[in-house]
Amino acid sequence: MHGSKTQIQREAAIQQMKEGRMDILIATDVAGRGIDIADVSLVVNFQMSRSIEDYTHRIGRTGRAGKSGTAITFWGPDDKAVLYDLKQMIIKSPISKCPHDLRTSEFAQRAFVKNIET
C-alpha cells in the first residue's frame, strides 16, 4: 500500500486485513497513522523513519490492547541523525529491550549526533 494507490484501493487493502482475508500488508508511511487493525503481531521497517514521532506511529500498529508484538527495524549509517532518540526511547520503555548493536553504535551516541547536526 502506497501513495500511488487510490484511496479506494487503500481502504480495500485495510478492510481485507481487518477481515483476515490478507495476512501480510506491505506499506509505506501512508499506513503509519490512523489505521487500527487488531492483532498485528509484527511490524518490519525496511527503512528507518526520519523522526521518532513517525517511528512511534509505525510501530504502534503492533502490540495493542495489552497484547504483545514485535517491531523489527533495519537501520544504517544514513539513519544516524535519529538513532540517539531511538535508543533513548527504547531504553525508557518499560516493555522494550534495546538491542546491543544500537546501544553501542557510535551513531547512537549524543556527542556524535550533535557533531552531525552542526
- The arithmetic mean of pLDDT across residues 18-34, rounded, is 79
Over the stretch 43-65, which tens digit does the pLDDT of each residue have?
A: 888 888 888 888 888 887 777 77
β-bridge partners, 44: 72
- The arithmetic mean of pLDDT across residues 68-91, rounded, is 85
- The arithmetic mean of pLDDT across residues 69-94, rounded, is 84
CA distance 31 to 52: 16
Copy the grid coordinates of residue 45: 521497517
- The arithmetic mean of pLDDT across residues 57-78, rounded, is 80
How far is CA 62 from its chain centroid?
9
- pLDDT of 109: 67
β-bridge partners, 43: 71
Helix (H, G, I), strand (E, B) or coil at 52: helix
Integer-rounded Cα radius of gyration of the chain: 16
**pTM (2 decimals)?**
0.69
Q: How many CA atoms does the CB half-sphere of 13 hold within 13 Å?
A: 16
CA angle 49/53/54 to nearest 5° reads 40
